[in-house]
Structure 1
Amino acid sequence: MKTSHSSTPAASTELTDHQDVVERIRPLLETPERRRILKRLHSRPTVRGSLVALTLLIAFILFAPFFAPQNPYDLLALNIMDGRLPPGASNADGGTYWLGTDSQGRDMLSAILYGLRISLLVGLSAVLLSTLIGSIAGLVAAYKGGWVDTALMRTVDFILGFPTILVALVLLSVLGRGVDKVIIALVIVQWAHYARIMRGRTLQERNKEYIEAAQNLGFPTWRILFVHLLPNCMSPIMVFATIQIATAIVLEATLSFLGVGVPITEPSLGLLISSGFEYLLSGDYWISMFPGIALLLLILSINIVGDRLRTSLDPRH
């Protein structure tokens, strides 16, 4: 009992001193660090251009109903007689199809804006859920160790041992088509990456002094995990998640292109590209080309910003 009482004040003093030091230097470090990161993000023309393109795309996605001249999901508003009209063609109401129409008479500009909404929704939702599940799994595995670590990591190895697209195809063949089904499939195939990254980061942090001090003070496990460990392990996860948004969007587009993703009544960019693929040789290039360009701009801008964010946060650069 004497040993326990004598170690607790020392641990408490050590933890208090550590917190005092952190609180004193935080105002000195945070503002210059933010300025340094922002300066690096804006230091290259490609990054600035990607930020502008990404901002414009997000603005168009959020306000798609205001920019789109047609609701492409409203089947009653479609006119089959306007099918496969070239860019700049006029409709019976005096409007203009600036990017042409597809085989169903769907305005391509409206379809692309709504398709971008689905792609970004799927990408963000899948990454957020994968980050949450994978981070908790990796955190618990590294902190607990033993059979818990072994069971979780063998599960991760099992999932990562299969091709991602193959697992997603099998899952969607069981779950069916739909935006929510695609998100579930992407979460199942992606959470393992976050678990492995979080486990490696947690192994570096769990033996540090502030964790030992928290353990000696008798803090509950959930507090040590989510209050002390998790905030100090999120930096690599956040950078990886930024890049994985583009990966999730590509996977969704691939699944929709293969016909197992979103339903045909709510076409995403992958489904739009697939619907115009058979008309490429007949000269109706716009049905596939314009959705492909929009998908390329979205993925490219996210990748460039994410890669620059990684180098900005990496002290080795």
Structure 2
Amino acid sequence: MTTWAHPTTLDEALAALARPGARPAAGCTRLAFELADPSRRPARLVSLRGVPGLAELTLVATAAGRRLEIGAMATHAQVGAHPAVRARYPLLAEVFALVGNVRVRGVATVGGVLAGAVYAWDPPTALLALGARVRVSGPDGAVRVVPLAEFYPAPGQTVLSPGELITVVEVDEPAPGTVGRYTSFRTRSAEDTSALGVAVTVRIVDGVCASVRIAVGSGTPMPVGFRDIDTLLVGRRPDDARVRAVADAYADAVLCVDDLRASAEYRAEMVRVWIRRTLSAAIADAHHPTGPQTPEPQTPGPQTPGPQTPGPQTPEPTGGPTTPATLAGGW
């Protein structure tokens, strides 16, 4: 039998979580499956719904500019609809609005999507490309801030210790002129989780790449980015050859997973394809000061193959059940 605790302060919640076997309960979109299975049912759950202040979204002035602080209990729907997020972090708003369906987005939380450490979920990839940080509260008032790039030490694991809880996700406001793009590659229904997600943020100044950050997830054991590969573009004109070189380097470096949505080998080739496409689209957007350009909609369906060129070919996504979604945002 599962017992529940219903704390009304953060200190009470942390004390309850310090007990052996205790786990936090937020939106319960994942816990619902465990609660339905007696062999996986948690012994003790700590509801966070009564803890004040955990669902707030706030813009905070900092010495370097502004920072968005997202409470761990904020839902995907809140993030996707929040005016400040849509205006200043459109990539983030669009990715959270992409998840599942309206019922899921209405209860799934930001803290839960990070703490769950499920590789197939989209938001952690976008947050990684934005350089997000995770604020963690622990016993005796301890607070630490962990870069999201360091939050997953291994697949399916987080740095959270017993008695610790995500309270806030911090995202610095990108520099003016930064453009973001996210591509969700789905091989089944539009409501299914992604087979691969690619997030890009890029800033172009006078035709030269001033900054770029790429993140890959949903088809990898955990969201990943390779800063040494990203820097191949920095300080250079991002022409097609350099974009292809970066995409190829990611495809060679990334480790993908095998599941029912796609094989690891196919996903690795899709990393090559979708990084090239997403990065190229973001760069094109960054060259338009009036704002990002929306790509032509892609309609799934049978495709007529063109003339074949002898030699090794990189497989391109085809029609049928594939549902690509490319989201553009500029700050």
TM-score by length of 1: 0.21
Higher relative contact order (CA 8 A, sep 6+): 1
| TM-score, normalisation: structure 2 | 0.21
Structure number having the greater helix percentage:
1
Higher strand residue share:
2
Q: Which has the larger radius of gyration?
A: 1
